[in-house]
Structure 1
Amino acid sequence: MKNANETKFVAAIDTSTDMLACTVARIDGADGSIDVLASGDHLCRRHANVELIDTLDATLARAGVAREQLDAYVVGRGPGSFTGVRIGISTAKGLAYGANAPLYGTSTLDASAWTAWLAGVRGLLGVAADAMRGEVYPALYRLDDAGVCRLFDRERVVKAAVAVEEWAGRADAAELQLTGDGLVRYGDRFEEAGLTSCIDRSLWWPSGEGLLRAWRVGAENADDVAGYGDPALVLPIYTRLSDAEENERKRLGLAQSEQGQTTGVADELAGRHLQFRPMGPADAEAAADLERSCFADAAHAPWSAAQFLEELSPSAAVPRSWWVAHDDGELVGYAGGMVVEHEVEILDVAVVSARRREGIARKLLAHVSYDAQMLGCTTASLEVEAGNSPAIALYEALGFTRVGVRPGYYGHGVDAAIMKAELPLVLPVDAASPEPTAAVVRAWPLAEPERTDEETAELARRRLVLAIESSCDETAAAIIDVEGNMLANQVSTQIDFHARFGGVVPEIASRKHVEAIVGVIDAALEEAGHALGLSGGTVAPAELAAIGVTQGPGLVGALVVGVAFAKGMAYAANVPLIAVNHLEGHLFANLLAQPDLKPPFIFTLVSGGHTMLVHVRDWGDYQVLGETLDDAVGEAFDKVAKALGLGYPGGPIISRLAETGDPKAIEFPRALNRKGDYRFSLSGLKTAVVNYIEQETAAGRTIHVPDLAASFEAAVFDVQYKKAWAALRETGAREYCIGGGVAANPHLRKMMMKKLGRQGVRVTLPPQGACTDNAAMIAEVARRKFERGEFASLNIDADPNMTL
């Protein structure tokens, strides 16, 4: 950034609404005055990711400013359309990062108010921005000749009817003028309430100049803040958590989240793979084992598996609530109680010794007490050995107090302390809940590296390609050189944030990508810099030869973040962009293990979202022989694991359990197992497993989970092998490879190596770490496309339904 007294060129963009706002201006360093050089504001519904870079480029051309001359970027942080906000912020992050220029964020609501001010509006102004779902983002301002003044502390979201009632009930309602794109949908409601003074419709959306004005006011109070301008710190303005997380908070008995979220993700709900679910009959043996280990020295006899099964019987005289905690498929704790009139009697609580003091018991009791409240309970009671100080301290922390003693309750001389508590229990954030990750504050822009002639020549020779992957729940970046040497491979996983929901929540995935992407790319550039021994220890964006990115398929909200960032970074750094098919990336992951792999060969893709058999006739020439008609293999694993209450992701857990199981114990169906049919169907198998679980549960029989896991795996993998071998015979190919997250399964890998190897087929398996989503596989595809000069335009969009 230039000296504060020098003139600066600034570009402002916003895609939070249907208005694509884009303005280039000159900022006078002496007085901070804004001289708009050109604007490209235009209504652009659902095409912002396609039009944004081209709009910026055209606006710069009209302003007579080269992209290299821009000293800073300003972006609207929302609130607004979730996808629109992410497109704007992700693109702006990429632009600022690629140019090594500061990025500043500002409220889109403030920008709307300043847009009205610029048009001469004065007095009391209400901005009602559309939040969809019958809601608006309401904001009140006072406008005078000096500027715009907020009359609220933070952005929030309410039902449109609530905003109408609030504003119509004000003593100064007659003075209130309205603006905001929420009037398009809900304007008649405001009018019916007597709020009829609306400013000109053309001013209902934020403008680029409005963004600049809003930013300048905020900058007056932020110029001296450490890290101000760092693109990593610019995040959307969230007014609520995702729906899934709000429901989880309710389930845990926590208060509704405060409006105005920092990251939009509930960090306090993320425990390392630790998951909670209702106890089922399949847990009886494990619970009894844990009971024996926890109460081996207790005066009372530990519960047996039969007693746990009896507690779970649907014919029990009074309602029960039993919950278990598990980690990677292992039961680590349980708690249960029964309802007697308006009180829940806590019957048993146990946590494996190695996992105590992590707050697991508190969370288990939170679930039990929540269920009790739903059944009309207002109090909770329990008995505990009077000498068990740790347990008593836990219960006291939850709000229990001693109300009596039962002498000799647990045997001669062993008294029971009777404790009671009002519901809901006191549930502080516990030791298992990590603090929100603190952002690394750094001075921005970064110091430009000083290169020796030798370093410059080496970078030119290496021609580095950066690859970005964000198709699902991993934010990843890798750097490869033109010869295929992998210089960096960074992955930031979100498993902890999704595990408690039993699968990926798209809204959470997208939010975490926005938060993590700059840090992941930072780490990749630094790793490559160290690998090359560069002075300064990092590669600068402008020193890259190209930037590749996963365009699809995947979750649209997740893909958008990576695509928008990559386009912005490529444009600002003035390097070509390469679009990569995620499925092709899984195919090319095999080259990381076998660089001499060459077509023709047969490839099986088995991932969480895809199952297909492909005849690879040449690189880029793919004949899809068959795909799944319903569930993908990884999806089936997750659903079966969920039905068993084993947690997410299901593949690794089922694989581990299957180690000690009998694959022939249960005969599950093999669908579409006909000659010449290369299609797959997993829904019937999944249904058969679920039916088996329900039948065994209804009969009160304990399910031997390892046998079930091994039999399920066998049913899936038998079909995979038979179809692969049939395709090899039909095509004459003598090589086979596999890809996708399920390709990491050791039983599948061993079976394919053994059975196909006996047939004289060379089997290539990707490295274990390259099976799940990663950027190294994307980098290998991007490198080859770079060599062929296959570059993408900067108006591409994410393609969630892309095919191979």
Structure 2
Amino acid sequence: MRTGDGRLLVAALDTSTDMLACAVAWWDPVDSADVSSPAAGIELLASADHLCRRRANVELVDTLGRALTQAGKTMNDVDALLVGRGPGSFTGVRIGISTAKGLACGANIPLYGASTLDACAWVAWDAGVRGLVGVVADAMRGEVYPGLYRLDDAGATRLFEREHVLKAADAAAAWAARPDAACLQLTGDGLKRYGRLFEEVGLVERVDESLWHPTGKGLLYTAAYAARHTGRADTCDPALVLPVYTRLSDAEENERKRLGLAESANTVTTGVADELAGRHLQVRPMASADAEAMAALEAESFEGAGHAPWNASMFLSELDPNAAAARSWWVAHDNGELLGFAGGMVVDTDIEILDVAVAAAHRREGIARKLLAHVSYDAQMLGCTTASLEVEEGNDAAAALYEQLGFREVGRRRDYYGTGRDARVLQASLPLNLPVDPASPEPTAAARRAWPLPEPVRDADERAELERRQLVLAIESSCDETAVAIIDADGTLLANQVSTQIDFHARFGGVVPEIASRKHVEVIVGVVEAALEEAAASLGFAGGPISPRELAAVGVTQGPGLVGALVVGVAFAKGFAYAADKPLICVNHLEGHLYANLLTTPDLKPPFIFTLVSGGHTMLVHVRAWGDYEVLGETLDDAVGEAFDKVAKALGLGYPGGPVISRLAETGDPHAIEFPRALNRRGDYRFSLSGLKTAVTLYIEQEQRAGRPIHLPDLCASFEAAVFDVQYKKAKGALRETGACEYCIGGGVAANPHLREMMIRKLSRQGIRVTVPPQNACTDNAAMIAVVAREKYLRGEFSSFDVDADPNMTL
């Protein structure tokens, strides 16, 4: 709590390196304004720094608890949090930031970010090191994050613009070539792995090895120095604190080397282009084949504007891989028609938006926002902190759009568009304010707002209602959807929020784990807040969103799933529950799919047979009792959802494949093509789909060689039939063998209307009651996690704060 003398109690955390940095200190903003003494205003109360390789998510919350105890404080006393934003280990950085976001949201206190490189420099400064210092932070893969600093009595001053990554040998060579190289002192954990490369070029002076890692105290000095010299701290809204990335994900880097990857030649050679009507709007990186259409749209959009539009050659030049400045260009298309584009180039830490255009017939559909979301995302990943653009004075429609995105006028360019036609220069901080709307469903940055948020106002009746309801909040982040739901003790779902990443993965034909993890970090605060607001509205509360302290418990998916994605949800949930002083409940994602059936059939009781058909799992389960599961059979290779995606990719149908194949199959003949049914023997409950996938691929190749166009509806219907026949026969056999009279299904493929209809129709004839979950509870969602969390809450099954994500968790 803020003291009467104006001091703030600050907890500082960093997990970007093998050092788990943690400190608790008093910070006096008034004393810290003394530029002659960088250490002024900081009183360290407790430090819990320790080496912690690959166990940060296990140890971080408990380490903070020990530091607070050592300081004689509790989380209720903390006024603000400070977290290291990297650069460093991608997973390590995300653990620290996700935990800190959860802590800040759970306690409703400000969150500030600081550079881990700067913290390393301040560690050396605090030990009395002075002069030219080079921080060599380990970036793995033969690379380092290099940072040069001038250390004097006034503090540690950066000699570089922004964090970047280099091959260790290149960084060593660049520093050795400096005229003052003889004075350079080295520090940083990268010296453990790459120190020899620096010695070989004559850089041998080193700071003591005990000072090579960031510390909590170093973070505090970093933040205080930034506030003193810039007049501002690095944000305070936890939604806007993001990792410092120095490179795109490997998938994105590879994509930039082979532009146009998302365009499949099969969309032409199979002769099915006319069958793709109804596909949703897609966004992908610009390719050379787009240049002519972009030029035509440019000419149409700027007709009569008085200045020359870009031509095709100009757009093509933006794809030059040897260009000095990095570029990011995206196009929006639907069924082959270009609907819009946007792009820009990186100049230092700013992305200059060079052009934005949307077809007249498709304006006000959120397309510009969608495109700018992708451009700004790339810019952030490339180290940009701002975006800028010009708009002609008098173009009120465009100006209004940009102002909604957070742009503000910072200057004018006289006669830029011709005599008497000025350009307004607009600039915005990244991330942009990109609200979610029906035409732009991808996760976007939260709006800037004052933080902390106002505490809700409740009357006695509302407080009593909350006490009776016992609200449980649940978080799901196992793959490519960030989801949050809130359920009450009676099983009433009060909130169900999902932020999807489909557009960010569609261009790769499947989920890219690194992108998924990054997007979870970006949006999780906003999704949690949206769920808290929705729950308050569902209860008819007018005094503000549900506050974390008004919850009864916090649930989260522990596994299975993508480890980088799970880590974000688990870390956030642990921080959130700890700060709000609520019990933590870990949930098995697979069990969530099973429990989703209770949303439609609350009286569902074991024993019954359950089929899980999702993108990552296919299994047949005998549910003997809640929590007592016998897995009768699993897939030996591809899961059902995975097979759908691979077949869709082979046909050039895009990602995700299930919905597209399902729509096309509606008008097809399921008996047109006889595809194999693998492991279709009685009593064998295993699944195998790799052979079916191969058979589809061979059929496509055979028809292409023969020059015959493929009737896509027939192919899709036949493929579906081959998959679903096996699912039905194995379920029927398991029901007969176990004597169960109930059957249910779950997973993303359970949303397929043909599978649902077939199972209900065929099994119902045999006296089996069939339950299917709601359509919106089939794909990954938090509603199903909330149902499990509620049951575990009522049984008192809580988890400790040293749990970690378990990507290989089984049912």
Aligned to 1:17: 17
Find 2:279's aligned residue among 317, 328, 337.
328
The amino acid across from 1:794 in the alignment is: F
Q: Assess, with a 3 A threshold, how the Cα gap between structure 1 residues 351 and 733 changes in structure 2: closer, same or farther.
A: farther
1:171 aligns to 2:189 (yes or no): no
Counterpart residue type for residue 328 of structure 1: R
Q: In structure 2, what is the Cα distance between the partners aligned to 1:789 and 1:516?
A: 30
- Find the aligned partners of 1:79 and 1:18 in 2 and give their Cα distance: 13
Deviation track 1:655-684 (CA, whole Å, cap 9, x = no partner) reads 011111111111111000011100000111
CA contact (8 A) 1:328 1:647 kept: no
Q: Is the 8 A contact 2:266 2:651 kept in 1?
A: no
Q: Offset of 1:221 from its aligned partner?
A: 5.2
Where does residue 276 of structure 1 map in the other structure? 263
Kept in 2, the 8 Å contact 1:599–1:619? The answer is yes
Counterpart among 132, 141, 145 of residue 124 in structure 1: 132
The alpha-carbon deviation at position 720 of structure 1 amounts to 0.1
In structure 2, the CA distance between the partners of 1:492 and 1:650, relative to structure 1 (3 Å rule), is same
Post-superposition offset of 1:699? 1.9
Tell me the amino acid that sits aligned with residue 150 of structure 2. R
Contact residue 16 and residue 86 of structure 2 kept, 8 A: yes
From the superposition, tell whether residues 751 and 282 of structure 1 become closer, same or farther in structure 2 (CA, over 3 Å): farther
Is structure 2 residue 434 aligned with structure 1 residue 434?
Answer: no
Residue 61 of structure 1 pairs with residue 88 of structure 2 = no
User: Aligned partners of 2:320, 2:16: CA distance in 1, in Å?
Assistant: 41
CA distance in 2, matches of 1:36, 1:82: 28
Change (3 A) 1:481 1:357: farther
After TM superposition, the structure 1 = structure 2 runs for residues 611-760 of structure 1, keeping only pairs within 5 Å, are 611-760=618-767
**Matches of 1:683 and 1:210, distance apart in 2:** 53
Residue 8 of structure 2 aligns with which residue?
Answer: 8
Q: Which residue pairs with 2:347 in the alignment?
A: none
Q: Which residue of 2 aligns with 1:115?
A: 123
Q: For 2:794 and 2:772, how far apart are their aligned partners in 1?
A: 25
Contact 1:282 1:705 in 2 (8 A): no
* Deviation, structure 1 residue 692: 0.9
Select which of 78, 81, 102 maps to 2:86: 78
What is the deviation of 1:7?
1.8
* AA matched with 2:577: A
Tell me, in whole angstroms, the C-alpha distance in 1 between the residues paired with 2:290 and 2:498. Answer: 46
Contact residue 282 and residue 503 of structure 2 kept, 8 A: no
Residue pairs, 1:109-508, within 5 angstroms: 109-220=117-228, 228-252=235-259, 276-280=263-267, 282-284=269-271, 286=273, 328=279, 430-431=357-358, 434-436=371-373, 437-438=432-433, 439-508=446-515
Aligned to 2:328: none
Q: 1:405 maps to what in 2?
A: none
Residues 172, 738 of structure 1: alpha-carbon distance in 2 compared, 3 angstrom cutoff = same
Root mean square deviation of aligned Cα: 3.3
Relative distance call for 1:451 and 1:336 in structure 2 (3 A) is closer
Q: Residue 596 of structure 1: SS of its match in structure 2?
A: coil
Deviation by residue 1:378-417 (Cα, 9 ceiling, x = unmatched): xxxxxxxxxxxxx9xx99x9xxxxxxxxxxxxxxxxxxxx
Does 1:568 pair with 2:565? no
User: Is the Cα–Cα contact under 8 Å of residues 149 and 158 in structure 2 kept in the other structure?
Assistant: yes
Q: Structure 1 vs Structure 2: percent identity of aligned residues?
A: 69
Aligned pair in 2 of structure 1 residues 580, 668: CA closer, same or farther (>3 Å)? same
Query: How far apart are residue 373 of structure 1 and its match?
Result: 9.9
> What is the TM-score with the length of structure 1 in the denominator?
0.81
Match of 1:539 among 524, 529, 546: 546
**Structure 2 CA distance for aligned equivalents of residues 351 and 652 of structure 1:** 33
Structure 2 unpaired stretches of 5+: 33-40, 303-308, 322-336, 344-352, 359-366, 374-431, 434-445
What residue identity is the alignment partner of 2:15?
A: T
Shift, 1:217, TM fit: 1.3
Q: Which runs of structure 1 show a deviation greater than 6 angstroms over 4 or more consecutive aligned residues?
A: 329-333, 348-353
Task: Please state how far the C-alpha of 1:447 moved relative to its aligned partner.
Answer: 1.7
Letter in 2 for 1:74: L
Amino acid at match of 2:372: E
Q: Give me the whole-angstrom Cα distance separating, in 2, the residues matched to 1:788 and 1:739.
A: 24
2:439 — aligned with what?
A: none
Q: How far 1:448 moved relative to its partner?
A: 1.6
Whichever residue aligns with residue 243 of structure 2, its letter is P
Distance 1:731 1:771 in 2: 25
How many angstroms apart in 2 are the aligned matches of 1:716 and 1:680?
Answer: 10
Aligned-pair CA distance for 1:349: 7.6
d(CA) in 2 for partners of 1:157, 1:22: 26
CA contact (8 A) 2:235 2:241 kept: no
3-state SS of the aligned residue for 2:83?
Answer: strand
Quote the Cα distance in structure 2 between the aligned partners of 1:601 and 1:279.
Answer: 43
The SS at the match of 1:736 is strand
CA distance in 2, matches of 1:599, 1:246: 49
CA pair 169-345 structure 1, distance change in 2 beyond 3 A: closer
Task: Tell me by how many angstroms 1:200 deviates.
Answer: 0.7
User: Which amino acid letter does the alignment assign opposite residue 755 of structure 1?
Assistant: K
Distance 1:145 1:373, change over 3 A: closer
1:98 partner amino acid: G
Question: What secondary structure sits across from 1:660 in the alignment?
Answer: coil
Work out the CA distance in 2 between the residues paired with 1:727 and 1:328: 37
Please state how far the C-alpha of 1:326 moved relative to its aligned partner: 8.0
**1:576–1:169: structure 2 CA closer, same or farther, 3 Å change rule?**
same
Question: What letter corresponds to residue 38 of structure 1 in structure 2?
Answer: A
CA deviation after TM superposition for structure 1 residue 277, in Å: 2.4
Aligned twin of 1:380: none
Q: Report Cα offsets for 1:241-294 as digits up to 9, x if no partner.
A: 1121222233338xxxxxxxxxxxxxxx9xxxxx5322455543536x9xxxxx
Q: What is the DSSP-based 3-state SS (H/G/I as helix, E as strand, rest coil) of the residue aligned with 2:258?
A: helix
Maintained 8 Å contact 2:283/2:371: no
Deviation of residue 485 (structure 1)? 0.7
For 1:528, the equivalent position in structure 2 comes to: 535
Distance in 1 (CA, whole Å) between partners of 2:561 and 2:733 is: 29
In the alignment, the residues of structure 1 paired with residue 723 and residue 646 of structure 2 have an alpha-carbon distance, to the nearest angstrom, of: 14
**Preserved contact between residue 632 and residue 685 of structure 2 (Cα < 8 Å):** yes
Q: Is the 2:113–2:235 Cα contact (8 Å) retained in structure 1?
A: no
Equivalent residue, structure 2, for 1:266: none
SS in 2 for 1:84: helix
Unaligned runs of 5+ in 1: 254-268, 270-274, 290-324, 338-343, 375-390, 398-425
Distance in 2 separating the partners of 1:278 and 1:194: 53
Measured in 1, the distance between the counterparts of 2:171 and 2:593 equals 49
Task: Give the distance between the partners of 1:581 and 1:652, measured in 2 at CA.
Answer: 26
SS in 1 for 2:473: strand
Asked if structure 1 preserves the Cα contact closer than 8 Å seen for 2:617 and 2:640, the reply is yes
Q: Give the aligned residue type for 2:449.
A: R
Paired residue secondary structure (1:434): helix
Structure whose alpha-carbon radius of gyration is higher: 1
Q: Is the 8 A contact 1:282 1:704 kept in 2?
A: no
